[in-house]
Amino acid sequence: MKTRSLFFRVNTIAIASIFLIATCAIPLEARTTEGRTRTSVHQKNRANINTRDVQRNRDINRNTNVNRNVNVNKNVNVNVKGDRRYYDGRHYYDYNRHHHHHNDVGRAWAIGALTGLMVGTIIASSSMSPSCGTVYVNGYPYRQCGSTWYQPQYVGSQVNYVVVNPPR
Amino acid sequence: MTNRWRNRIGMLLVSTPFLMLSATGCLAAKPTAAEPGDEIQIEPEAMTALNEMGNYLRTLKSFTVSSEMSMDEVLLSGQKILLTGTTEYSTRLPDRLRVSSKVEGLDRDNEYYYDGKSFTIYSNLDKYYATFEAPDTIGKLLDIAEDRYDVEIPLRDLFYWGTEKDRGEDVQAAYFIDTSRINGTPCKHYAFRQEDVDWQIWIEDDDTPLPLRLVITSKLEIGAPQYISTMTWNVAPQLTDSTFVFTPPEGAHKIEFAVIDDPEEESTQQ
């Protein structure tokens, strides 16, 4: 149910992996934490796995999981740099997690702009002021608060707002 | 206090330095040893009950389920916060699903629609909706929603048990615990262990073996948080096509999913 950033999960997994590899040879998955309470007995990502050989499946699954982590790491390297996190008492949010439409532009803008929130800043929908009006630009409903523009998007089941360059 | 408990506390005190040592090393990372008497075994009766439940679920062409759920959320400090909520499912196999999910403590009040062609999420709080093109069965939809869009519909198991997606072979231990009642209905209570989760299920003890309660312990997560769902079923609902079709309410805005994009991954998938 709870949406957490992939970066956070990957980070946790990576740190746990380094710790494990460095200190003791325990199977990787014994310490991987997604920071998420499971709401189904069935794991995800098992749809394409051969069901004929149980023990073999377990090995394959393990590989699948590890590979997936590697993929996610790659994503993080490509799209997210300089992440920091803040905590509002209940939920964790990312600073500086660039929305993929605004990657490079966003970063350049962020370096130059010292006023207002940095482009790429993500806030939870509960932190959005109701006084920020909806403005449609090219059919997309942005929220504008003074000179700051937000682009709402679903991250999993949760709406987040990403600070973007003025879209017009 | 009995001698037994004194002994246990004594042992705990004696072992404290070792526990502290192990907390800094990898001993703490090892899965907890089973209690004495908890022999690892699979009772065939428990697996049979699970299969019968799955087979019965797959005879249903249409059903509604109301799930009262509670779920631990573990903060980075280690403190556990209990979230509660309700999830209502309406479904017509193989390709219609409607879910309403409210979670208190998480500002979550969402509607999910799957009409056989597209999947839509709508937030009653934010008044935003987002859509993606959906595959032709609920099972595939739930996979894509979770893997690609990070949208997790709780209790996916209801749509996996008894199908080819059933992962009964993941069960490493299975026991019958006892008979008990859920909201007055006699049930059989079973406990299962897997590599990643321990789980318990209460199955209605009659000719309609429905799951009435599911408890999942995420034992690889820090704090071993639990998810508990208590279910109320209707296996003969009157559901019309419009139940599953999303019509944007007044004031609703369409937005996009933030899919984690990886050009390589996308090119290999297409």
pLDDT at B245 over 50: yes
The string of pLDDT tens digits covering residues B114-123 is 999 999 999 9
Name the minimum distance, in Å, from the CA of B166 to any CA of chain A: 8
User: Which one-letter DSSP state was computed for residue B153?
Assistant: P
A125/B107 Cβ within 8 A: yes
Question: At B13, is the pLDDT very low, low, confident or very high (cuts 50, 70, 90)?
Answer: low
Per-residue confidence (pLDDT) for residue B15, from 0 to 100: 56
As separate numbers, helices (DSSP H) first and strands (DSSP E) second, chain A gives 3, 7
**Cα–Cα distance measured from residue A39 to residue B142, given in angstroms and rounded to the nearest whole number:** 13
Q: What residues of A are in contact with residue B169 (Cβ under 8 Å)?
A: 51, 54, 57
Strands A133-137 and A140-145: antiparallel
Name the minimum distance, in Å, from the CA of A56 to any CA of chain B: 12
Q: Which of A33, A13, A30, A118 is nearest to B195 (CA)?
A: A30
Angle in degrees, CA A25, A28, A30, rounded to 5: 100
**Residue A16: Cβ within 10 Å count:** 17
pLDDT at A60 over 60: no
The string of pLDDT tens digits covering residues B121-144 is 999 999 999 999 999 999 999 999
Per-residue confidence (pLDDT) for residue A125, from 0 to 100: 86
Name the minimum distance, in Å, from the CA of A162 to any CA of chain B: 10
Q: Where are the domains of chain A?
A: 6-79, 84-164
Instruction: Among A58-67, A81-90, A91-100, B26-35, name the most confident range.
Output: B26-35
CA dihedral B268, B130, B118, B231 (to 10 degrees): 110
In terms of pLDDT, which residue wins out, B9 or B70?
B70
List the structure tokens of B188.
């059989």
**Cα–Cα distance measured from residue A35 to residue B223, given in angstroms and rounded to the nearest whole number:** 10
Q: Which residue segments constitute the domains of chain B, with CATH numbers given?
A: 44-170+232-260 (2.50.20.10)
Per-residue confidence (pLDDT) for residue B63, from 0 to 100: 98
A141/B253 Cβ within 8 A: yes
Per-residue confidence (pLDDT) for residue B259, from 0 to 100: 66
ipTM score? 0.79
In terms of pLDDT, which residue wins out, B20 or B236?
B236
Q: Determine the residue of chain A that is closest to B255 in CA distance.
A: A153
Q: Which of B27, B186, B154, B19 is nearest to B85 (CA)?
A: B154
